[in-house]
Amino acid sequence: MTSKPFDVHLMIAPVDPYLEAFAEAGADRITVHAEAGPHLDRSLQAIRAMGKKSGVALNPATPAAVIAHVLDHIDLVLVMTVNPGFGGQSFIPAMTAKIREVRDMVQGRDIDIEVDGGITVETAAAVTRAGANVLVAGSALFKGNDYGANLRQLKLAASTQAV
């Protein structure tokens, strides 16, 4: 249906019993929450063994340090900038410090830093300045009727590196 990669963010626990089904369904990258199973390293290795890219999602209260020992098994770190559960929440400003911490941890590795939650024209520049290179936007993109204009505004804001 598309040549675009399918990036799957699984917010389920336990996650391991479902990894194969999502891989078989066409996921190119599978991101799991650090708390989604008893053995994060094993989950990430299972994803990679299926030929997929792997990621770890960090909830706002989850310390960045949980990825320190799995950096060689991940392609992406997803910093949740709201508490997961529903759309339209406000960005948690303290998460910009976590994004910078993750950026410093992954420095020199080919690991994307993704942010999800509260991404708007007002927050996009701050998260990209902090180190994010993948932004997930829902409510800000789909408000109103001109989704194209919303997307252009978000892209422009994300590319703005001015303080």
Burial class (CB in 10 A: 0-12, 13-18, 19+), 19: buried
pLDDT of the residue at 137: 86
The Cα–Cα gap between 105 and 102 comes to: 5
Would you tell me how many other CB atoms lie within 10 Å of the CB of residue 82?
Answer: 20
Rounded to whole angstroms, the Cα distance separating 26 from 39 reads 24
- Total number of domains constituting the chain: 1
DSSP label of 66 = G
CATH of the domain at 73: 3.20.20.70
Question: Is 11 part of any domain?
Answer: yes
Decide if 2 is inside a domain.
no
Is 1 part of any domain? no
- Give the domain extent around 51: 7-159
Q: In this structure, is residue 93 part of a structural domain?
A: yes
Q: Is residue 85 included in any domain, yes or no?
A: yes
At residue 142, the pLDDT reads: 86
pLDDT in tens, 55-71: 999 999 999 999 999 99
Q: Are 34 and 55 within 8 A, CB to CB?
A: no
Compute the distance between CA of residue 49 and CA of residue 66 in angstroms, rounded to an integer.
Answer: 21
Condensed to tens digits (0 to 9), the pLDDT of residues 74-132 reads 999 999 999 987 777 889 999 999 999 999 999 999 999 999 988 988 899 999 999 99
Query: Is there a domain that residue 154 lies in?
Result: yes
Residue 61 resides in a domain: yes
Helices (H), 1-146: 16-24, 40-49, 95-106, 121-130, 139-142
